[in-house]
Amino acid sequence: MTDTNGMGRVAVITGAASGIGRAAALVFAASGARVVLGDVADGVEATAAAVRDAGGEAMAIVGDAGREEHVAALVAAAQERFGGLDSFFANAGITGGPVGFANATAELWLEVLRVNLVGPALAVKHAAPAITARGGGAIVCTASVAGLRAGAGPAAYSASKAGVVNLVKCAALELAGTGVRVNAICPGLVETGMTKAAYDWARAAGKLDQMGTTNPTRRGGRPEEIAELAAFLASDAAGFINGQAIAADGGFSAMHPMAPRPPAAARQ
């Protein structure tokens, strides 16, 4: 939705109370899209208010993106309030905490998978027919670089995001011919609610400038950068991109682990 083809479009965005979801709500709305915003946190109302303050149209629904009734309600609201649905950004997710295999309970695994993997699957189930009825559009899911390789998150979180990477491939194939494209974004380190503790620690320790320096871009990402990619994938400009998991991580997933390198000038 980064081009004029976003004008008049309707989008659903989950996990919209903060971070990438809130940034996406503002980016999508700035392109002219009317947005239905979902989140389990009450902050989703503030996001909708921010969209309206900026001149956009938005409605908020508090609910759990891993529950089928909430996902169905978001799609129904888009159809009833705005006349249809053109894109769904399944962005909601949880980490489950920094728990290793030895201490991760079956209940923790099930909860992380329910929100992070079943949630996007439900988005595909309910959004695809509504988008097809409009002549086509896009579903975008938030995966993670943790779903591409080990070492970027806890095991349950990483496994759930690997599932999202494969989910969009399966969905793209199953929806062939419907006009609905399905892709995933794999963010690297981005300052959001999930990474707040790490960023707060870095600020307190005077090490904020070191966050994200293990990637070639040598910094962490901004929520707006992920939101812009989601908006592009939801737009007609990405009409030939389907079934892909696109990393937005400053180049982190392009590398093997290595020791920090000195600046280029020092190697000349």
Query: With contact defined as beta carbons under 8 Å apart, do 222 and 190 qualify?
Result: yes
The upper half-sphere exposure of residue 79, i.e. CA atoms within 13 Å in the direction of its Cβ, equals 15
Beta bridge partners of 89: 13, 140
Active-site entry in 157, 184, 192, 249: 157
- Segments in the chain forming alpha helices (H): 19-30, 43-53, 68-82, 106-113, 119-133, 155-174, 196-205, 223-234
Q: Is the dihedral of CA 41, 42, 48, 50 positive or negative?
A: negative
Which among 91, 98, 94, 46 is positioned nearest to 193, based on CA atoms?
Answer: 94
Q: What is the DSSP letter of 41?
A: S
- How far apart, in Å, are the Cα atoms of 127 and each of 56, 143, 220? 22, 18, 32
Q: DSSP states of 198-219 as a string?
A: HHHHHHHHT-GGGTTTTSTT-S
Q: What is the DSSP letter of 257?
A: -
Is-catalytic flag, 199? no
Calculate helix-pair angle for 19-30, 223-234, nearest 10 degrees.
50
Number of residues that make up the chain: 268
Could you list the active site residues?
157
